[in-house]
Amino acid sequence: MKLIIAVIKPFKLEEVREALTSVGVQGLTVSEVKGYGRQSGHTEIYRGAEYVVNFVPKVKLEMAVADGDVASVVEILAETAKTGKIGDGKVFVMDVEQTLRIRTGETGEEAL
């Protein structure tokens, strides 16, 4: 089992969610987050005063998937979240030691 974390542009969320559902991702946790990468923020002007927005709003998706699904999920994320412009975000994949479905007590890939 792997945990996939994707940080994407907020306006892509709906498109990405639909694509993930179509490849069988059954659970998704979404958070509104702020942060910066190599882009390191951008400038805005308010009432004639320029200021730096250090933290850019992003959406963070977290989903646990079976080992066999990782490649397709990462691929679909890369396809649908991409605009080709700076700030598209990143995908992280990490191992998951155990999963438990609280209601039934199922564990492992059964619980995904």
Q: For residue 81, count other CB atoms closer than 10 A to its CB.
A: 22
Q: Which is nearer to another protein, 11 or 46 (CB)?
A: 46
Q: Which is nearer to another protein, 31 or 107 (CB)?
A: 31
Residue 12, SS3 per DSSP: helix
Total chain residues near another protein (CB under 8 A): 6
d(CA 51, CA 95): 40
d(CA 69, CA 102): 23
State residue 49 phi and psi, 5-degree precision: -105, 125
Q: In angstroms, what is the minimal distance from the CB of 43 to another protein?
A: 11
Q: Which is nearer to another protein, 47 or 85 (CB)?
A: 47
d(CA 42, CA 85): 14
Q: Which is nearer to another protein, 47 or 103 (CB)?
A: 47
Of residues 30 through 69, those in contact with another protein by CB under 8 A are: 45-49, 51
Interface residues toward another protein, by CB under 8 A: 45-49, 51
